[in-house]
Amino acid sequence: MPTWNLSHIYKPEEKDKLISELKAKVNNFKKFRDKLKDLSEEEFMKILKEKEQILELASKLGGCASLKLSENTASSEANADMVLIDELTTDLSNEMLFFSLWFKELNKEQAEKYIKSSEKYHYLLERIRAFKDYTLKEKEEQIINLKDLTGVDSSTRFYDIISNKFTYIFEKKELTLAEINQYKQSIDRKQRILSYDIVFNKYAENQEVLGEIYKSITNDWKNENIKLRKFKTPIQVMNLSNDIPDKAVEALLNVIKKNVNLFQEYFKLKAKICKIQNFDRYDLYAPYKESEKEYSYEESKEITLEVFKNFDEKTYNLAKKIFDQEHIHSDIQKGKKSGAFCHSILKDIIPYIMLNHVGKLNDVFTMMHELGHGIHSLAAKEQTNFTFHASLPLAETASIFAEMLLAKKLLKESDREEKISILLKLLDSQYASIQRQGYFVIFEKDAHDQIAKGATVEELNKLYLENLKEQFGDIEINEVFQHEWKYIPHIYHTPFYCYAYSFGNLLVLALYKMYEEDKDFVPKYMKILSYGGSEPPETILKEVGIDITKESFWEKGFEIIKEEIEELKKLTK
Secondary element (H or E) of residue 259: none
- Asked which of 49-53, 292-296, 409-413, 466-470 is least confident by mean pLDDT, the reply is 292-296
The span from the CA of 263 to the CA of 508, in Å, is 18
Residues 6+ apart with CB under 8 A from 59: 345, 346, 385
Burial class (CB in 10 A: 0-12, 13-18, 19+), 412: exposed
Q: What percent of the chain has pLDDT over 90?
A: 87
pLDDT average, residue stretch 9-17: 96
For residue 12, how far is the Cα from the chain centroid?
Answer: 29
pLDDT at residue number 543: 84
In the predicted structure, residue 292 carries a pLDDT above the cut 80: no
The span from the CA of 248 to the CA of 420, in Å, is 34
The predicted-structure confidence for 104-157, as pLDDT tens digits, reads as follows: 999 999 999 999 999 999 999 999 999 999 999 999 999 999 989 888 999 999
* CB neighbours of residue 168 within 10 Å: 19
Check: CB of residue 400 under 8 Å from CB of residue 505: yes
Check: CB of residue 565 under 8 Å from CB of residue 265: yes
The span from the CA of 150 to the CA of 191, in Å, is 41
pLDDT at residue number 422: 87
Residue 339 Rama label (left phi>0; alpha psi -120 to 50; beta): left
The span from the CA of 99 to the CA of 46, in Å, is 13
Query: CA dihedral in degrees (179, 180, 186, 191; nearest 10)?
Result: 150
CB pairs under 8 A, 24+ apart, for 451-456?
A: 451/215, 451/218, 451/219, 451/222, 452/218, 452/219, 452/222, 455/215, 456/211
**Mean pLDDT of the residues in the chain:** 94
For residue 380, give the nearest of 540, 189, 239, 545 by alpha carbon.
Answer: 540
The predicted-structure confidence for 321-331, as pLDDT tens digits, reads as follows: 999 999 999 99
Question: Which domains does the chain show, CATH number per domain?
Answer: 6-150 (1.20.140.70)
pLDDT at residue number 291: 58
Beta strand pairing status for 352-354 and 328-329? parallel
The predicted-structure confidence for 514-527, as pLDDT tens digits, reads as follows: 898 888 999 999 99
In the predicted structure, residue 272 carries a pLDDT above the cut 80: yes
pLDDT at residue number 290: 59
For residue 538, give the nearest of 243, 116, 239, 238 by alpha carbon.
Answer: 243
Secondary element (H or E) of residue 531: none
pLDDT average, residue stretch 521-549: 94
Residue 522: what are its φ and ψ, rounded to 5°? Answer: -55, -50
Q: Mind spelling out the 3-state secondary structure of 172-228?
A: CEEECHHHHHHHHHCCCHHHHHHHHHHHHHHHHHCHHHHHHHHHHHHHHHHHHHHHH
In the predicted structure, residue 7 carries a pLDDT above the cut 90: yes
pTM assigned to the model:
0.84
The predicted-structure confidence for 27-36, as pLDDT tens digits, reads as follows: 999 999 999 9
pLDDT average, residue stretch 326-342: 92
pLDDT at residue number 418: 84
pLDDT average, residue stretch 201-223: 97
Q: Positive or negative CA dihedral for 548, 551, 553, 558? A: positive
The predicted-structure confidence for 217-268, as pLDDT tens digits, reads as follows: 999 999 999 999 999 999 999 999 999 999 999 999 999 999 999 999 999 9
Q: Residue 354's beta-bridge partner residues? A: 329, 341
The predicted-structure confidence for 450-463, as pLDDT tens digits, reads as follows: 999 999 999 999 99
In the predicted structure, residue 528 carries a pLDDT above the cut 70: yes
CA dist 259 → 13, 248, 253, 498, 557 (Å): 55, 17, 10, 18, 11
pLDDT at residue number 440: 98
In the predicted structure, residue 421 carries a pLDDT above the cut 90: no
The residue ranking higher by pLDDT, 393 or 53, is: 53
pLDDT average, residue stretch 289-294: 71
pLDDT at residue number 129: 96
pLDDT at residue number 548: 94
DSSP letter, residue 232: S
The span from the CA of 495 to the CA of 235, in Å, is 8
